[in-house]
Structures are given as structure tokens and as C-alpha cells.
Structure 1
Amino acid sequence: MSAAEYARHDALGLAELLQRGELAPQELLETAIAAAQKLNPQLNAIVRPMHEIARARAAAPLSGPFAGVPFLVKDLCQEYAGVPTSYGTRVLKDERYAASEHAEMVQRWLRAGLVVFGRTNTPEFGAKGITEPEAWGPCRNPWNPAHTPGGSSGGSAAAVAAGIVPVAGANDGGGSIRLPAAHCGLFGLKPGRGRTPQGPRYVERMHGAVIDHVLTRSVRDSAAMLDATHGPEHGALFHVAPPERPYIDEVGRDPGRLKIGFTARSPIGTAVDPEAVQAVRDAAKLLESLGHHVEEAEPQIDGPQLGKDFITMWFATCAANMDDVRRGTGCRESDFELDTRAMAGFGRALRANLYVEGYLRWNEYARQLGDFHRRHDLFLTPSLALPPARIGEIRTPDWQQRALRILLALGLEGLLLKSDIVDQMVHENLKWVPFTQLANLTGVPAMSVPTHWTAAGLPLGVQFVAAPGGEGLLLRLAAQIEQAQPWAQRRPAIHLANS
């Protein structure tokens, strides 16, 4: 198979070729490996190749809807037995820390017939909306390698956008599927809480705010992958009703005339770039042309407080992750990145009652979003407040790094929390990405759709947020938009078809 032909197909298209016997899984895998070897030096999307493991699997009998299709998993959770999962940190790169078993999500991907041949770049503990870990180096956006592909699933997004694979594993605890999709011109669906598995080690992360799925070029690949992976797992704390019909059957199904509320206003009061505003307004016009009712409206939610509650949970989770790795490896705190140590320090300094108070407000946000969904089928926003940043642009300034080192050395994180530092950190951490956390804290499904490119040629997607159980509705609308304004034929500067 030629590189150009490989790059033309989505995952279901490749699976159809394999099912018809037009090529063998081994041949397809070698095409994908060659694509990775050609493009990855420019992108740094794949940080741990698994070629021999993949070759052995491709040579064995395979079954499932994606039997023989090459695939990449994210190097954050999504453990593969016998292979280290680094979580973007130097400490866990060591072969001694190879996973003893597959993650449940990986097990389901394997049952679907996928052939995993590598793990993708991610920031340390997935704690940033960019993918520039010190452990592996920055991942680059195929549309312009001077810019970030977003995070934390940046490596997966870059690999899919460049044509190395048609689909790759991702997860989303604050936007980490939707944000890299928006950065890289891809479709990114975040399923609702409990829709896909998280185990076996943890059956729920961040009280259900984290969910695993994929990044894709086509809507139908995302739907078919969700069909292959959704459903409860052993020990699940939370169960959701099964879908009314297979998700793949939603693709091409008429969504009906929807009532959609939209805003381009940042929920935390930060600036929104005119390109992001235009992306939403253009999407609203497209939706109207498709027969939907679109109006300016948004949930009545205290956005700054929601941002603060999200950051509180994020920092506390970072502290727990770091402490877990230290217990398991005996490493030192200095083995982690400074920004990670600072986040963990603030997380440890938080009082338990404040943590619980913030978590209890999640229910308030869910009720307020539920009130909005009584009047509107979907909520439309920018996916990003600002166009994709340049590599290093969101780096912590040197003077702040010096201050953080002093604070951490003196143990003054608790005193700092009594000031307005958390409010400042909410603004600094979320000003690029203030729109996506709502869906995580409320547990509802949401998606980023690639409808807009900036004047500089960078993607800038828009986000749709649905009510609980709304994955099918999102897929119906996404497929309608995909047909009306196709995006798959657009190719970034670094793409297999261009090589």
C-alpha cells in the first residue's frame, strides 16, 4: 500500500480493505511504521515505539470491527502489559516499571482487533494543555511545527493529523481530547461520565471527570470506536444507561431541528481572540443554514468559581499522582518538573474541607447546566479562547520559576493559598482553555468539531456540550456538519500524503 493511499482512508476504511483481503495486516502495519519513522522526527508524537510487539500481533489471527488496523495509545494511563507507561515523567520511563496488565480500555481496543505499535507524547501527569514534557521533549503541531498540538493528548492528535494513524487513544480530564482536536483540525468526542472504562487500577479518576476515548479524522471512526469500548467494567462505581442504538447508526441519522445556545464569552472573564469569536459565529451561521435554531444563551454558572474548583481538584490530583509514584519507585521530589512540584505543593496545602466544598459544588453546576438543557439541546462555545500557542509560549517565566523554588524549599505553599494566588492561577492556567472544564465537572458528553482555520492557517475548533446521555445526538450533529462542511480533505504542512 502506498503512503498516499494509506493516508486517504479512515480506520473503518482500512478495516474494510483488510476484511476484503486486499492487503494483509502485516503489510498495513509496515506502512504505518514507515509513516511514523518518516514523520515522527519532525513531530515527536510517538515516544515509545512497540514495533516488535505489533508485528507479532499482526501475524496472529485477529477479529473485531478494526481487525488489523494500526493504532497508538497515549502514554498516560492506557497501560499495555509488558511496556512502561511513563505518564510523561522521567521517573517512569525506566523498563523496570513496565505494566503488569493491560488497562481495561486497552483490552477492549485489542478485542476490537486494533494493532498497537506505539505510545504517544503527553505532558507530565497530563497536567497541562500543552505537550512539552521535559522527559520526552515538546510535541509539535503538523499544521505548523512552531506551535503546540495542545494537550494533554497532544502526541495522539499530532499523529492522527499527520496521517501516521487514522485514530489514536486519548483521555480527557479537563479538555484533553477536545483541546488537541481543536489544535490539530480533528474530531474529538469526550463521552459522558462512566461511558468508557477506567480500570482496572482505578475505576474512576477525579470523581468521574476523566474519561477515555480517541481522536479521529472522521466522525464515523469515533462512533465505531465508542461502540467497541463503551459499557460498565468490573467494580464500576457509576453506571450509565446503554445507548438507544449503536453509535455508528447515529452517523447519517437526521438530528432533527435543534435549539442551540451559544456564547463566545470566557466563563472566567479572560480575553477571547477574535478568531475564536468568529469560529463560533461562523458555526452558528452554518447551523442555521442546516435548519437549526441558534441563539446567544449560556448556563447561569459562576465560571470563576467553577474554574477555581477545577484547579483545586487538579492540584490535589497532581499531588496524589506524585506521591503514588514516589512510593512506588523511591524517587525524589526533585525528579519531577518544577511546575508539577508546584501544583502538587498547592494540592497538599489545601485543607480537606475546602476540597470537599469545591467537589460538592459540582452538583450545583450540573443542576445549572441541566436547567440550560431544559431550554436548549446543545451549548456551543469556542474550544480554545486563543489560537494554538507557539512552543514555549506558555512556559513558566524564569522569575516565577525562581520564586516557586524558594516557596517550595521553605514550605510556604499554605501561606500563599491565603492570598489571591489561586484566583491568579485559575486565570493563568485556564485563560487559553476556559471552556472545556464544565463538561468534565458535570460529567456530560461534549465534542470539538474542526470548523474553523485562522488567517495563519491554524485549526481552531468549536465545542458542543450535550445533556447526560447525549453522545448519540452529538454524533448525529457532527456527521451533519462533516457532510455540509467537510474537513478531512484539508492537509497540514506535515502530512504523509505530502511526503
Structure 2
Amino acid sequence: MTTSEEQARVHVFRDDALGDHDAVGLAAAIRRREVGAAEAARDVAARVRAVEPRLNAVQTHLDAPAHGSGGLLAGVPTFVKDNTDYQGLPTGHGSAAFAPRAARRHAPFARQLLSTGVTVLGKTRLPEFGFSPTTEYEGAEPVRNPWHTDHSAGGSSGGSAALVAAGAVPIAHANDGGGSIRIPAACCGLVGLKPTRGRMVANAQGRRLPIDLVVDGVVSRSVRDSAAFLAAAEQHWRNPKLPPVGLVEGPSGRRLRIGLLVDSPNGVRSDAGTRTAVTETAERLERLGHTVEPVELSIDPRFTDDFLTYWGLLSFLIGATGRTLGADFDRHRTDGLSRGLRETYVRAWRTTPAVLRRLKRTREAYAAGFRGLDVILSPVLAHTTPPIGHLSPTVPYATLIERLLDYVAFTPVDNVVGTPSISLPSTSTTPDGLPVGVMFSARPGAERTLLELAFALEADRPFRRLQDV
């Protein structure tokens, strides 16, 4: 690693109350009274202050930590993503189009998050309305990747992922409407589980949409943290229509049939570094006793265009209802991506009924692809993490949307269908040391299978840690 690359890395792991603890380890230390919750919150605040000038990951700080009540993660400091209402804090959605006002009450998911026992210290940054797979802006500093600050931290949960990867917090809130948990997890070398649609409490906005794409979760540095969060959240509320997950604590002895998908069903071919990461993971799985075989998904060839139309519909709806966010909302002040998506939709709005029908039918084709399989292994993204600026909203829209569709070629299907999916760090890296993620997807309600498989891969070869590079 050259000196310039070393200078581009940022982390704040140190000998304080947090040490190298993940969330489960820190919660255990707090229960044993080896560390106090107030001490942990204080040291996280210090770590965030140290790393923030280089990462730009935090949107808002709370004046005083807000402690959850009990739970598996009692006392663990965290941050909430700034598209979720947290009482007393403004919700800005990453947009400069309005002046956000303080939320009068917690969103349902914020209450579920607090039920796990975490201590909330503030809110993390996201790209405007969570539309982009990178956390960049037209008129503000981007969120930077702690593995290499010249590169994207991913999006839309980029602020959360940057803080967790850098060691500022052990775990942080994320949500996913097209890859926004899994993409930043892949970029930052983290675990990112997108749960089944309906696994978490629903948000009011999603329930009003024809297809609810968004589900909440977390990004973490260990599989056990994501597993513990899911189990703790389930104690607050469990969807009776889904099988319970419970606390998953390690791999199972079950041998799985795994489908291998290297290139996207929409025709986008993965780059060399991504293909290497996926094929090496497949070889590891076979060595662990699983069966891996190529799979084809017969997704409608219009899926990408249909998803783009739906993406544009969301931007159009925000433009039409933005005054509910702030009385001064001005859609003309939204960024280039939001404007371009909205204008694209306005030209295609008459196709909306057909688009919705086709997107809803995707579940049938996806289910057919799973016949005889337990999970599908694929890339998270079609190419490795781009430099800052490549996907910036300042890029002309026609060029930007082409780049976005060539990058985010795998994750949206799970959002449309509602299936669970997890991003895990592979053993591969890019030439400049950036992580490369791989993705596993499963049938609805099969989070336990995904977590058990993730535990097996983590035990076989522990995930690369930024503080050890």
C-alpha cells in the first residue's frame, strides 16, 4: 500500500470504551458493567468528531444521547438515517429544496429501533430522497468512503455505512428501496441485510405506494450484529404473516443448493473484479459442502425501463407533494437526478398501469428461478466502487442515468419482489484496496437461511477489517 493510499484511509478504532467491539460485544460489556452506556456514548461522540471532517457522514447531532429501554443491544450508540422521523430532530431527506422542521414524534421504525436498546446520537446523511447509489450532492461535500476517501461510500445509506466502517459506531440505521442497505455495505466492507418486505414495521409513505419498495434495517461490521438487531426488532413487533427468525447465532449444518448469477438478467455484464469476487465465493461455498450451479432468471426484458419509470414516479410524487415536507419546498431546487427522473416520468406517465402490472408480475419469474434452489449468489453491483464524481448529480442526466443503470443492475429486483437479500464482504479487493461485496438472495421470510450462510462464510474467513490494513 502506497503512502497516498494509506493517507486516503480513515478509521478511529482506538483504546477507549469501544475498542474493537462490535455491537453485540459492546452490549455484553455494558451488561457486565465493564463499560458504562454513558461512557460508550461519550467515546462514540469523540470518534465521530475525529472522523467527520474527512467523511462528512453526519447530518445532525442530538444535544444529549437518547437511550433506548432494555433490549439485546442496550447501551450501544448508533445513528438514524435522515429520511426517518426522530422526535425533536429535523428530517431533511438529503435535499436542499426545503428547510426541514423538527419531527413532532418518532416514526414507527424509530420506535422499533429504540426498542432494541440502542442509544441514538444523531442522524446520518443520504443523497436527495435516497434516489442515488452514492451519497453526493450538487452544493455540498460528498460522504467519503473510509477505505479510500477518493471513492464513494455508496448510497443511499452512505453516511451510516461510512461511520460504521470507520469504527465511529458499531451499527447504524439504513433502509433499502433499490439497494440502499446492500450497496453502501458492499462499498464499505460491511454486512447489509435487506429484510423481507413486511418484516419491519411499515412506514406511512410506503403503505400509500402501489409497490412498497422500502424496508428498514442496519449496516454492521459482523454477521452477529445484523442477526441480533433482527431478533431484537422482532421482539418489538413481528409480522404474523412471516415465519419468525429468532436469534441466529451461527451457521447450520444444512447443505444448500445455491444458484450462481454472475451477470445481470437485464444484460449488464459484471466487470472483472466483481466476477472474481463472485466466482471465488462460489468456490468457497463448494469447499464448505454446498452445491453451486449456474442459474438463469427470466426477468421481463423491460424490467430496467419499468423500474426507471417507477423511480421517476416517486420523484414526481415528491415534487407534487413536497410542501408536506416544508412550506418553502421548491421542486426546482431539487438536484439533477431528481429533476431528470421527474421529467422522464412526465414523458412516460401514460405507461404507468402497464409498468405496474409488469413489475408486480416479476415475483412469478423470480420464484420460478428459485425452483430447486435455497439461495442465489450474485454481485451486489455490476462494477466496483467508483470514484467521487462519477455518479454525482452534477453529471448531465442522460450520462448519469446510463451510468446508474450499468452500476445498479442486481439489487432492485429484490425490492420489487419483496425478497430478503444480504450483502457480504468477499475475500477480493480492488487494486487500491477497496472492498468488493457479494449478494445472497432468498425466498420471502428466509432471513434465517441467509444469516446462517453468512455466519459460515465469516467463520471460514473473517471479514477484512479496516483497522488491520
TM-score, normalised relative to structure 1 = 0.86
Separation (CA, whole Å) in 1 of partners of 2:107 and 2:468: 32
Aligned residue among 27, 39, 43 for 2:51? 39
* Contact residue 43 and residue 142 of structure 1 kept, 8 A: yes
Q: Say if 1:201 and 1:301 are closer, same or farther in 2 by CA, change over 3 A.
A: closer
| Superposition deviation, residue 425 in structure 1 | 7.8
Pair 1:16–1:321, CA change in 2 (3 A):
same
Q: Please state if 1:53 is matched with 2:64.
A: yes
Supply the distance in 1 between the matched residues of 2:19 and 2:346 (Cα, whole angstroms).
47
Q: CA deviation at 1:244?
A: 4.2
1:486 aligns with 2:458: no
- Greater shift, 453-462 or 342-351, is seen at 342-351
Counterpart of 1:29 in structure 2 is: 41
2:77 is aligned, of 70, 80, 84, to 70
Shift of 1:10: 0.8
Equivalent pairs: percent with the same residue? Answer: 37
Partner of 2:10: none
State the 1:477 CA deviation.
0.2
Can you list the C-alpha shifts for 1:113-168, whole angstroms capped at 9, x where unaligned? Answer: 21111111100001111100236420000000000011000111000000011100
Q: Which residue of 1 aligns with 2:407?
A: 432
Shift of 1:83: 0.7
C-alpha distance in 2 between matches for 1:129 and 1:491: 25
- Paired with 1:286 and 1:431, the residues of 2 have a C-alpha distance of 27
C-alpha distance in 2 between matches for 1:377 and 1:322: 41
Q: Does 1:377 align with 2:381?
A: no
Cα distance, 1:362 vs structure 2: 2.6
Amino acid at match of 1:82: G
2: CA distance between counterparts of 1:188 and 1:153? 10
Q: Which stretch shows the higher mean deviation, 114-123 or 252-261?
A: 252-261
SS in 1 for 2:368: helix
Letter matched to residue 117 of structure 2 = G
User: Do the aligned partners of 2:265 and 2:297 also contact (CA within 8 Å) in 1?
Assistant: no
Cα pair distance change 1:42/1:205, threshold 3 Å: farther
Alignment of 1:405-416 (within 5 A): none
Distance 1:113 1:488 in 2: 28
Match of 2:438 in 1: 462
Query: In the TM superposition, what is the alpha-carbon distance from 1:243 to its structure 2 partner?
Result: 3.1
Q: Which residue of 2 aligns with 1:368?
A: 365
Q: Does 1:213 align with 2:217?
A: yes
Correspondence 1:119 to 2:90: no
The structure in which a higher percent of residues are strand is: 2
Q: Which residue of structure 1 aligns with residue 425 of structure 2?
A: 450
Find the partner of 2:304 among 291, 304, 307.
Answer: 307
Cα separation, 2, equivalents of 1:192 and 1:426: 27
Matched, 1:351 2:349: yes
**SS of match in other structure, 1:350:** helix
- 1:365: Cα distance to partner? 1.6
CA deviations over 1:178-200 (Å, ceiling 9, x no partner): 11010000001000111111335
Deviations 1:413-467 (A, max 9, x none): xxxxxxxx8xx98643210120111111111000111013222211110011101
Write the letter of the residue equivalent to 1:329: A
- Aligned letter for 1:4? D
Secondary structure at 2:435's aligned position in 1?
coil
Instruction: Tell me the equivalent position of 2:4.
Output: none
**Structure 1, unaligned runs of 5 or more:** 402-420, 494-499
Q: Are residues 1:177 and 2:181 paired? A: yes
1:161 aligns with 2:172: no
Aligned residue identity for 2:335: E
Following the alignment from structure 2 to structure 1, what is the Cα–Cα distance between the partners of residues 22 and 209? Answer: 30
Q: Does 1:14 align with 2:52?
A: no
Deviation of the 1:47 alpha carbon: 1.7
- The within-5 A match list for 1:41-440 is 41-50=53-62, 52-54=63-65, 57-58=66-67, 62-76=69-83, 78-94=84-100, 97-134=101-138, 136-200=140-204, 202-203=206-207, 207-230=211-234, 241-246=241-246, 248=247, 250-254=248-252, 256-302=254-300, 304-327=301-324, 328-352=326-350, 354-395=351-392, 400=396, 427-440=402-415
What is the CA distance between 1:492 and its match in structure 2?
7.5
The answer to whether the Cα contact below 8 Å between 2:336 and 2:394 also exists between their aligned partners in 1 is no
Does the 8 Å contact 2:442/2:450 carry over to 1? Answer: yes
Distance in structure 1 (CA, Å) of the matches to 2:444 and 2:31 = 36
Please give the alpha-carbon distance, in whole angstroms, between the structure 1 residues aligned to 2:357 and 2:112. 33
Q: Would you say the 8 A contact 1:36–1:164 is kept in 2?
A: yes
- Give TM-score, length-normalised by structure 2: 0.91
Conservation of the 8 A alpha-carbon contact between 2:133 and 2:183: yes
Contact 2:251 2:454 survives alignment (8 Å): no
State the 1:357 CA deviation. 1.3
- C-alpha distance in 1 between matches for 2:338 and 2:222: 34
1:473 corresponding residue in structure 2: 449
